[in-house]
Amino acid sequence: MHPLDVVKTRFQIQRGKTDPTSYKSLGDSFRTIFRTEGLLGFYKGILPPIMAETPKRAVKFFTFEQYKKLLGLASLSPGLTFAVAGLGSGLTEAVVVNPFEVVKVSLQANRNAFSEQPSTFVQARRIIARDGLGFRGLNKGLTATLGRHGVFNMIYFGFYFNVKNIIPVNEDPTLEFLRKFGIGLVSGTIASIINIPFDVAKSRIQGPQPVPGEIKYRTCFKTMATVYKEEGFLALYKGFVPKIMRLGPGGAVMLLVYEYAYAWLQENW
């Protein structure tokens, strides 16, 4: 799924049709990247997600279960419990993953050939040496990442478990699998539609600034307001198609693996 993530980031950091590096369409972006950067250009910034994915998903599901247990002590409805536990897991996950995102976005924004690009570790060292570990360096864009993951997980878990409890269980294993897959697909899609303005803000803050040495995009909501004012409402949904293509089915697969693996572990451990 990583090529879709690269394309999504490129769309989100381009600043309207006047940007000389703008892609005309999804197809044009794939053709241009392949022609100018080669096949490996689609895998720029792949190492940070590989390094972060296992702890990120472990944090997502582990904290969701823990928050769900804690919220069980409060007098909340089951539906609200799922959503609030999802919000908590997303905020916790964002803190873990943000430094990896900063390095990933900076690598994905680089349009040089793959062989001319610095390695992940060299890029991380450059960011730390130049800007430090704080909110201007390796933790740049944390508020936008908190918003992106918090909103996504709140809707993702809230919608999935609430709808799954409403739609009757099917005794046929194949149909039951398809029922869960369909709900997961819709969950991932709706969550992506609602959280994408946070994703655009994150990419602008963590990506290259319009004028080198001058910080234009600093905070989450101020960045959203600037993008809306200068480029219009639809600019907050840049990268929408590749994001949906990646996180719709990806979200369904992730929830299914979690559910079936969790059930198997409970039975066998």
Statement: residue 22 has pLDDT above 90: no
Count of beta carbons in the 10 Å neighbourhood of residue 156: 31
pLDDT digits (tens, 9 = 90+) for 199-208: 999 999 999 9
Sign of torsion over alpha carbons 38, 35, 100, 250: negative
Helix (H) or strand (E) holding 102: helix 78-108
Return the pLDDT at 41.
Answer: 93
Assign domain 1-268 to a CATH class: mainly alpha
pLDDT digits (tens, 9 = 90+) for 147-191: 999 999 999 999 999 999 999 999 999 999 999 999 999 999 999
pLDDT band at 19 (very low <50, low <70, confident <90, very high): confident
Statement: residue 115 has pLDDT above 90: no
Statement: residue 17 has pLDDT above 80: no
Dist CA 169 CA 162 (whole Å): 13
pLDDT band at 143 (very low <50, low <70, confident <90, very high): very high
Assess contact for 138 and 128: CB atoms under 8 A.
yes
Q: String of b and e for 50-83 (b: at least 16 CB within 10 Å)? A: eebeeebeebbbebbeebbeebeeeeeeeeebbb
pLDDT digits (tens, 9 = 90+) for 103-112: 999 999 988 8
Give φ, ψ of 46 to 5 degrees: -75, -30
Between the CA of residue 45 and those of 3, 13, 73, 134, 247, what are the distances in Å? Answer: 10, 15, 42, 21, 18
Q: Show contacts of 53-58: CB within 8 Å, 24+ apart.
A: 55/96, 56/93, 56/96, 56/97, 56/100, 57/254
Say whether pTM exceeds 0.75.
yes
